[in-house]
Amino acid sequence: MKLQTADVPSPLPHRQFASDNYAGITPEAWQALARANSGHAPAYGDDAWTTVATDLVRQMFETDCEVFFTFNGTAANSLALASMCRPYHAVICHQSAHIQTDECGAPEFFSGGAKLILVDGRNGKVDIAEFEQACARRAGDVHFSQARVLSVTQATELGTVYSSNELAALSAVARRYQLKVHMDGARFANAVAALNVAPKDITWKTGVDVLSLGGTKLGMPVGDLVVFFDKNLALDFAHRRKQSGQLASKMRFLAAPWVGMLQGEAWLKHVRHANDLAKELSIVLSQIDGLQLLAPTEVNGVFIKMPKGVIQKLRDRGWIFYTFVGDDGVRLMCSWDTTREDVESLIMDVRQCMALTETN
């Protein structure tokens, strides 16, 4: 079909489980954006929306912290890490970390050469013994990049969460080796809802120095934050952000969706919804013979092994999803706007495709 320039492109025929960034913008974020779109306001963050959003973030974490808006998570992560280490330092992270697998070398680039040191661990979480070994390995060796930062992803790339105890234990090791702690919180809100804790309990209270706080996957159009609990690390951040092209001139439009989502804790309602539906999907799918969960479903993503024939049949039926955990590991993400009917319709197709594959 040829799209005429006068046509408005249509959305996909139905909602998908490919990624939470396939979803649109939540009503709360959208309304705040519309309200911000009135009259003139100072540029580059000197506007009232940015001030209010920043205050709401401080209230959310119940502490004074430095808050910066960037356009996306890759920028938030790589600029955060760049401000935590020098070019001859190293960042220790899980081998499946987004900073390692999905950022095209941005952390190395923006830090001017910092090395990522990979460790393993079950369910996408950094194993503490491996982490400690990596801290100690070649410490002081002039020929090797010196470990300076631990970066953990909360929730992880396998849809699991670190408990506050696990985080505290990792931070204690980090402190012992003089490492700072960074958290990639692209789905931080989902983790807060899953753990039923206060945001402070899994950040500054358990040793996190800098947090990349995701807004996009939560249901905003654009705009992820860097939150510095260790304010010393934020010293040159304003220049770092500007130099990398991440300083929005019409900042109010990055800030307003945050105001809409943080006021009245709309964010919690939306992530609980997405987490709950993922749990339902996970329970039903894991009971089907021949399907096997790759990790417990703790937030809004189901990671499950499926026969390759079934994966193909689901794709033939129009389902879009990623299979980046091996070639038979399917990732199914729920979003703020996923409905129970969407979940049921996917389950029905999985059942039918399984039955068809068995008889062939």
Stretch that binds ligand PLP, among 54-62, 73-81, 86-94, 288-296 (CB under 6 A): 73-81
At residue 335, the 3 state secondary structure works out as coil
Report the distance separating Cα 37 and Cα 327, nearest Å: 45
- Asked if 184 is part of the footprint of ligand PLP (rule: CB under 6 A), the reply reads yes
- Asked if 98 is part of the footprint of ligand PLP (rule: CB under 6 A), the reply reads yes
Q: How far is the CB of 335 from ligand PLP (least distance, A)?
A: 13
Q: How far is the CB of 74 from ligand PLP (least distance, A)?
A: 3
- Asked if 180 is part of the footprint of ligand PLP (rule: CB under 6 A), the reply reads no
Please report how the helices 48-61 and 252-262 are oriented relative to each other, as an axis angle in degrees rounded to 10.
Answer: 40
Give 153: exposed, middle or buried? Use CB within 10 Å, 0-12, 13-18, 19+.
Answer: buried
Restricting to residues 207-236, which ones interact with ligand PLP according to CB under 6 A?
216-217
Single out the residue of 194, 188, 193, 223 nearest to residue 208, CA to CA. Answer: 188
Q: How far is the CB of 4 from ligand PLP (least distance, A)?
A: 31
- Asked if 100 is part of the footprint of ligand PLP (rule: CB under 6 A), the reply reads no
Give 36: exposed, middle or buried? Use CB within 10 Å, 0-12, 13-18, 19+.
Answer: buried
- Asked if 186 is part of the footprint of ligand PLP (rule: CB under 6 A), the reply reads yes
Report the distance separating Cα 323 and Cα 342, nearest Å: 20
Please say which residue, 94 or 273, places its beta carbon nearer to ligand PLP: 94
- List of residues 6+ apart from 247 with CB closer than 8 A: 44, 45, 238, 241
Please say which residue, 26 or 74, places its beta carbon nearer to ligand PLP: 74
- Asked if 73 is part of the footprint of ligand PLP (rule: CB under 6 A), the reply reads yes
Cα-flanking dihedrals φ and ψ of residue 145, to 5°?
A: -55, 135
Restricting to residues 326-355, which ones interact with ligand PLP according to CB under 6 A?
none
Report the distance separating Cα 259 and Cα 9, nearest Å: 29
End-to-end CA distance of the chain: 34
Considering only residues 100, 153, 275, 300, which one is a binding residue for ligand PLP as defined by CB under 6 A?
Answer: 153
Q: How far is the CB of 79 from ligand PLP (least distance, A)?
A: 11
Please say which residue, 189 or 350, places its beta carbon nearer to ligand PLP: 189
Please say which residue, 203 or 216, places its beta carbon nearer to ligand PLP: 216
Q: List, edge to edge, every strand of the sheet that includes 180-185.
A: 66-70, 224-228, 210-213, 180-185, 146-153, 89-94, 115-119
Stretch that binds ligand PLP, among 24-32, 69-77, 158-166, 314-322 (CB under 6 A): 69-77
- Asked if 146 is part of the footprint of ligand PLP (rule: CB under 6 A), the reply reads no
Q: How far is the CB of 244 from ligand PLP (least distance, A)?
A: 13
Please say which residue, 54 or 153, places its beta carbon nearer to ligand PLP: 153
Number of residues that bind ligand PLP (CB under 6 A): 11
Report the distance separating Cα 308 and Cα 81, nearest Å: 38
Contact positions toward ligand PLP, by CB under 6 A?
A: 72-74, 77, 98, 153, 157, 184, 186, 216-217
